[in-house]
């Protein structure tokens, strides 16, 4: 890592991924100004001729974390050579190591990143008008961008995207491992397979004006799958007797809170008990 003390006031810390190194490195580089016709600074750029072969290479702009979709509030320029996908070039070993081999498409050639204030927010090729020091927070967003690039792996897509608050209703076995708590809140990625492919609507939720989806979770072998809390909530849950742990989330993916699920469960249990009494009276 580059020395923490700035060599002079015109230098900013950048992140460099050499193609023949096992790890990326922080460097101090001098910053140059590009002026418009009025004499105003139109953009700033580190002097990277030694690292990239030019001071003005091709670049991608990062303005959000590509996995979580959280806006950064600043921009990152990921500078690269035009032939970064040329199969005749060696794979960048620093990128390979930093991403843990999780990239679907290998990066070839050198890579240099710097960050700062964007001229325009969320613009694909917006200029950086004020270069600031690269830090570890920005580093993590660069790694997310590299891993996400052209990545269609199912395991990756399952964690990608903004998350929605959901609620797990634990079966008896899982509840014992959770200090006796039946309900637990958690963040569910919006592209998770439970959201995209496996959810079932709860018909009873139509009556409360908040359509809820439920999906069964994997339960370890030998765990008590009995879950009396969801009787009446989930279709056929009472016939299955041991449905295991389920996760519940709103159809519109707005946050769902534990208390709302508890209230819904109490409503469903009342409906279920009334149906049982009706059957007994026949």
> Is there a contact between 170 and 181 (Cβ–Cβ < 8 Å)?
yes
Going residue by residue through the chain, which has 282 residues, state the pLDDT in tens, using 9 for 90 and above.
Answer: 456 788 999 999 999 999 888 889 999 999 998 888 888 888 899 999 999 998 889 898 999 988 888 889 999 999 998 766 676 778 899 999 898 888 887 888 899 999 999 887 656 668 899 999 998 889 989 999 998 888 887 777 767 777 788 999 999 999 988 889 999 998 887 666 666 555 567 777 877 778 888 888 877 788 898 888 887 676 554 445 577 888 899 888 888 999 999 988 888 878 777 877 877 776
> Is there a contact between 31 and 12 (Cβ–Cβ < 8 Å)?
yes
> Is there a contact between 44 and 72 (Cβ–Cβ < 8 Å)?
no
Q: What is the pTM of this model?
A: 0.59
pLDDT digits (tens, 9 = 90+) for 203-232: 778 777 788 888 888 777 888 988 888 876
- Which residues of the chain form beta strands (DSSP E)? 11-17, 25-35, 41-46, 58-64, 71-80, 111-118, 128-132, 163-169, 183-189, 200-201, 212-216, 246-250
């Amino acid at each position: 890592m580059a020395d923490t003390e700035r060599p002079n006031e015109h230098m900013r810390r950048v992140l460099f991924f050499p193609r023949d190194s096992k790890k990326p490195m922080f460097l101090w580089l001098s910053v140059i100004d590009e002026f418009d016709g009025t004499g105003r600074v139109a953009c700033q750029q580190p002097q990277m001729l030694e690292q990239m072969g030019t001071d003005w290479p091709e670049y991608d702009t990062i303005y959000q974390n590509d996995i979580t979709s959280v806006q950064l509030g600043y921009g990152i320029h990921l500078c690269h050579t035009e032939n970064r996908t040329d199969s005749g070039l060696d794979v960048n070993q620093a990128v390979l190591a930093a991403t843990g081999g999780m990239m679907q498409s290998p990066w070839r050639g050198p890579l240099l990143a710097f960050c700062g204030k964007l001229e325009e927010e969320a613009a694909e090729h917006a200029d950086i008008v004020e270069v600031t020091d690269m830090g570890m927070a920005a580093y993590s967003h660069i790694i997310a961008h590299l891993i996400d690039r052209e990545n269609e792996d199912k395991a990756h897509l399952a964690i990608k995207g903004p998350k929605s608050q959901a609620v797990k209703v634990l079966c008896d076995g899982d509840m014992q491992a959770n200090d006796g708590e039946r309900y637990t809140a958690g963040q569910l990625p919006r592209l998770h397979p439970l959201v995209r492919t496996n959810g079932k609507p709860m018909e009873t939720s139509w009556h409360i004006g908040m359509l809820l989806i439920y999906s069964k979770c994997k339960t370890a072998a030998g765990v008590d799958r009995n879950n009396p809390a969801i009787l009446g909530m989930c279709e056929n849950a009472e016939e299955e007797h041991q449905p295991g742990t389920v996760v519940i989330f709103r159809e519109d993916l707005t946050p769902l809170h534990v208390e709302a699920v508890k209230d819904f469960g109490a409503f469903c249990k009342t409906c279920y008990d009334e149906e049982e009494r009706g059957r007994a009276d026949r």
